Structure 1
Amino acid sequence: MSKTLFASRGNLVGLLLLAVLLLVVFPLVFDIFRLNLVGKYLTYAFVALGLVLCWGNAGILSLGQGVFFGLGGYCMAMFLKLEASSPENTKIQSTPGIPDFMDWNQVTALPWFWEPFHSLSFSLVAVVVVPALFAFVIGLAMFKRRVGGVYFAIITQAIAAILTILIVGQQGYTGGINGITDLRTLKGWDIRTDHAKLILYFINGGLLLGALLLAQFVQQTKLGRLLVAMRDKEDRVRFSGYDVSSFRIFVFCFAAGLAAIGGAMFTLQVGFMSSSFIGIVPSIEMVIYCAVGGRSSLIGAVYGTLLINFGRSLLSESFPQLWQFAMGGLFIAIVMVFPDGLAGLYQTYAAPLIARRFRSGRGGGRIAAASTGSRVH
């Protein structure tokens, strides 16, 4: 009982410290340019949170999470692009009222699947529903046939490659390799101003903390315990009468939804979305974020994402050619030396030291109180 209480208290303290760092320290320390970069990094943390549940807890390694990140981003970008492509803004085009890349590719009418994205409400729902539905189809096809392990990882990697090729090839409908760019306003609100970027940063940070709480809730429920049991002893869980495939489908769709929210916030903060965030390389990088933070730690996943991306910025500014080598070296070091990532380092070294200090402080206080009491008597 006491151990559980201490763990809950530790999680609460960790969450509060993270909230102070994101919502107080960073806005005070960084200028708007750097703060917007941090906001971009935090959008990747949504993917890392989903991977903790999907890979760390359930043992499902997906190398295609960039697919769901990109789909969420494209759903938001389609709404923003349609708003920026009003007849007044596009009157110099051959066909006013459609996105510029469609006009360049001689598309003369807005495609039917773009029409619903005139509505912000539909777009916000689609941000989560479209990627989650796509994940459901993949999960149903794979997990019902008991496809898992390295085979599932390879399949998700192939899906990321196929979707990238599809988006690039359909340039007239998707923007191709350049993606959907020149996004300006959200319901008339200019998202390119410094004030808008500051507000979007706080919205992003609040959503991330909310997603972390939701993921933590899932971990602490019976479902979360079943996910871990499935990872360790799948046959025993199946023989106990549970439908393992249904649980796997759920956690895979849940992770896809989190990744999609991150993609939508990325589009809002950065101002574009392209196929470069859907392919194999960004998907593998997102797995590295999770591994560095600790694949069983939600808070560690956020710190791992920040650490990797801060390192990328610092190294790429000074040594742009060395960054990929540094990324590979860091991943190898984590896997071989610190398999539990930053969270494992904290649990192994920092947490026992803090606990000893805490106990010694309380013990010292009791001794001082006892000696004071004896002097009074």
Structure 2
Amino acid sequence: MQFTVMPELPVLPPPEVVSKTDQSISLRIQKPPQTDGDAPFTFQIVRSSRRSPASHSEHGYVYYSWSDSAPFAGKMMPVKGLSPNTTYVFRARVVHEAARQCGEWSPLTPYARTFTEEEDAKRSGTVFEHALKLERAQKTQLQSQISKLTGLLDGGKAAREADSKTQLHEDMLASRRVIDTRLVKLQRELSAQASALQTLKSQRSADEQMITELLNEQEALRTTQSQKQDQVQYELEMQTLRSQLERNEQALHKHQEQVNASHEQITSYEKSLEDKKGEIAQKEQEVERIMADCNRMVQEQADLAHVKQLEVEDALLEAKTSLEQQLDINTYLRDEVMRMREENHHLRNQIDEVDSEIAPKLVRLEDENQQLREQLRRR
């Protein structure tokens, strides 16, 4: 049956493996809250084994070959018809059969391997184990008898060759009868063991069905117990809330008393505040009077400072006038000094010129005097 995938339907968690045999694996589904109640939701499980052909992509991804199962409504689902000693993976989804809708597949379960026949036989019970032990013991005994017969035949080969052919034929017939008798006995025992094995398998299937029913009942009991626990927890919470409400009422009463006391304190504070305001008004009047006195004194000091400033300005003007006169005198004297310096410089130049004119004449006169002295000496 084809279903339409609806993203709004819940996605199941991976199924949980509860029990397994050599040909079946029992799975448990955790129902989401959306599927509880009267909604017509069922579940579907598909499987894939490692022995089934799986294709691989060029990137190494594995594509499983899935086998569908019929939808079911309970939490437990035994998947039967499996192969012994085979590893399987499972996945599940929510199905709405009436609307032909389904949810997304759940994540894959971990690999789950079915038992081998020997493992299943060991698991099924001590009776089957005892039957296997008996069968093995009988096989061992039969092999030992065959080996003994073979030894007897090999050991008495020389004696049988000496006997007549009739005696040899009789011995072979007797040994054959013994072997046939033992084989018939072993076949009967094997058929009895096969019937016992079939009985054990039917009993095991009944046990599996019973286990499935017990697990379903356990889930129902667990759900009922959780509901009862929720009811008990609700009553405990209500008691806790009632006690909390009483404590809150007591705290509210205490708080109301504290508020009344606070109102009384506020009233007293307001009265004291009015008194403080009157005192502050008186202080402000005194401050205004003091400020008026201060302003008057400041004005007087300002007038005195203005008079002093005028006197200082007059003195400064007189000093400025005298300084200007002194500056004019100093300027005149500086000009006279400059003029006299220029005259001295001019006179110095004239003296230098006269010296430059007189010096050669003096040298010439000294030379003439020297010549005259020499002439006088010669005479």
Higher helix share: 1
Asked whether the two chains share a fold, i.e. TM above 0.5, the reply is: no
Tell me the TM-score normalised to structure 1 length: 0.27
Structure showing the higher strand proportion among its residues: 2
Choose 1 or 2 for highest CA Rg: 2
Tell me: higher relative CO, structure 1 or 2? Use CA pairs within 8 A at least 6 residues apart.
Answer: 1
TM-score by length of 2: 0.26
